[in-house]
Structure formats: structure tokens, C-alpha cells
Structure 1
């Protein structure tokens, strides 16, 4: 399966309020400018660091991207 990071991370939406992955996924979903088709770390990381809301911390992104790479 050839999924973007965005598609992968959406699976975490709807989790508990204490789940940092769920909170990240919800913030990502609400960010209309998020690069939805991107699969590579560098462009996504740059977006998170420069343009993303504080509800998408880079430490959580790094963890989620690690899971994404393990599965895809």
C-alpha cells in the first residue's frame, strides 16, 4: 500500500484527549494547508517546524513518522 503520511496519521483521529497521537492527528486534519500527499520526512518536518500549529509538536511528529516508516 502506498499511503501518504497524512493518510497514515488520520487513523489516530478520534482517540482519547490524553493520546498525543490523536491530538496531533486532529490538529493535522484541521490544518487545511497540511501537505496531504507528502511521504518524505524532510518536507513534512520543515512544514511542522515552520508553519504548523503548536498542537502539532515536532516530537510527536517524529514518533509518528517513525511508526509510518516501519509500516510503509
Structure 2
């Protein structure tokens, strides 16, 4: 069983946010409704589209998801 996307994303946090994935991770950290236990693309994507004003573009999520999958294989 792979770890949740949120768990992976938290490894990307960076207080100075050098890139968009790090900025996304910083914002997700403060998102109380983020599906923290999920590894389901559709569930997380739906949450981000409906609730994540801190995510400026869904392509950032797509990039982060690709990195997540690569790290789990």
C-alpha cells in the first residue's frame, strides 16, 4: 500500500517556496478539509477544484501527482 498523496506532499513543503509544488504543499498544509488519507486522484482533484483557492492552476496538481507516482514506484 502506498502512502497518501498528502503525506508525500508534506515532504515537499518549503518555507521559502522555491517552486510551484512547494507553494502548493505550503497551502495544503493549512487546508483543514484536504483528504489527508487519500491516494485517489479523482477525490483529491475534486477537492482542489472546489475548495483550494491557494492552488493557482490544476496543472500544478498534475505535476505534483506525477512526482508522487514516480516516488512511489
Structure 2 equivalent of residue 28 of structure 1: 28
Q: Normalized against structure 2, the TM-score is what? A: 0.85
Unmatched runs of 5 consecutive residues or more in structure 1: none
Equivalenced residue count is 71
Question: Once the 2 structures are TM-superposed, how far is the Cα of residue 15 of structure 1 from its aligned partner?
Answer: 5.2
After TM superposition, the runs of 4+ consecutive aligned structure 1 residues lying more than 2 A away are 15-18
Q: What is the Cα deviation at residue 6 of structure 1?
A: 0.2
State the match for 2:63 in structure 1.
63
Matches within 5 A, 1:1-72: 2-14=2-14, 16-53=16-53, 55-56=54-55, 57-72=57-72
- Aligned-residue Cα RMSD (Å) equals 1.5
